[in-house]
Amino acid sequence: MHVPVLLNEVLEYLNASSGKKFVDGTAGGGGHILAIARINPKAEILGIDLDQTSLDNLQQEVSQMGLGQKIKLVQGNYKNIDKIAESEDFGLADGILLDLGFSTSQLDSDRGFSFQHDGPLDMRYDRNSKLTAEEVVNRYHQKELEEVIHELGEDRFYRKIASTIITQRKIKPIHTTTELADSVRKAIPGPLRFKANDNIRRVFQAIRIEVNQELENLKEFLPKALDLLNPGGRLVIISFHSLEDRIVKEFFREQAKDCICPPDFPTCVCDKASTVRILTRKPVVATEAEVAANPKSKPAKLRAAEKIM
């Protein structure tokens, strides 16, 4: 069963009990969507997800609960939230949510998201996209692999890991999650190999982000989501990676600024006015109780802002 992270906090910051229209850009297992529908019987909800399998499973649940008139599910990329909302004649929203984690069903799938299950190196949320993890691992040049592992995985052994992957694939192409995990493990110095799972996890994360272009999608999504909100509407983002959180934090800060003229200008000439009020001075994190019940919530960070114009 999919357990949504920071559920109470999401409902609070979205103002879910009183809004009329909500968009969940990462519908996933539907935990957040169904919770909004339960506490707000009048809400209209648009759920978007790249993963058609997740949407099919959620659609069955929505239908069984008799919520088909309230919840509309669409396969697509959240970076296209403006076009999707327009095509569905949805109008402006009172709350928009993005949960950048992935569900247990995806971890347990045959797409290679987890090194704890032997399977093909796929890692695509959208089966129709061309780039797979196997192509990244077997076709990227060493410098490209180093960049992916260093920037997206933030692993200090990125050079050695990339070099070891190149060596291994010359002997035999790397096709499975187990083969990739073994290559990473070999790259870690002997005294530290006992905790190589941390390095493997970071490498898998980096390749997944690269395959799905997750950081680029987020950068494209944020201004579009803000435009789609009614004045007073809330934008809530849950991130699990420091780079994602930094992108959200900097976007909110920039939108919350008034004048951005240099300090030595006598009067303002930029005419910039703040468009949001930041609701979370620091990111909201899971309580100890939630982490104990759902360890996957530990790295989650929630940031929220309210549109003011």
Per residue of the chain (309 residues), give pLDDT as tens.
568 999 999 999 999 999 999 999 999 999 999 999 999 999 999 999 998 988 999 999 999 999 988 999 999 999 999 999 999 999 999 999 999 987 655 555 577 888 888 999 999 988 888 999 999 999 999 999 999 999 999 999 999 999 999 999 999 999 999 999 999 999 999 999 999 999 999 999 999 999 999 999 999 999 999 999 999 999 999 999 999 999 999 999 999 998 777 777 777 777 778 999 999 999 999 999 999 999 989 999 999 999 997
Question: In CATH, what is the architecture of 111-212?
Answer: Orthogonal Bundle (1.10)
Those residues whose C-beta lies under 8 Å from the C-beta of residue 297, and which sit 6 or more positions away, are 5, 6, 286, 290, 291
Contact predicate 209/125, CB 8 Å: no
Residue 22 carries which side chain, given as an amino acid letter? F
DSSP state, residue 17: T
CATH number belonging to domain 7-105+214-307: 3.40.50.150
How far is 37 from 33, CA to CA, in rounded Å?
6
Question: 143: part of which helix (H) or strand (E)?
Answer: helix 142-147
Domain boundaries, the chain: 7-105+214-307, 111-212
Q: What does the buried/exposed string (b/e) look like for 216-226 if buried means 16 or more CB atoms within 10 Å of the residue's CB?
A: ebbebbbebbb
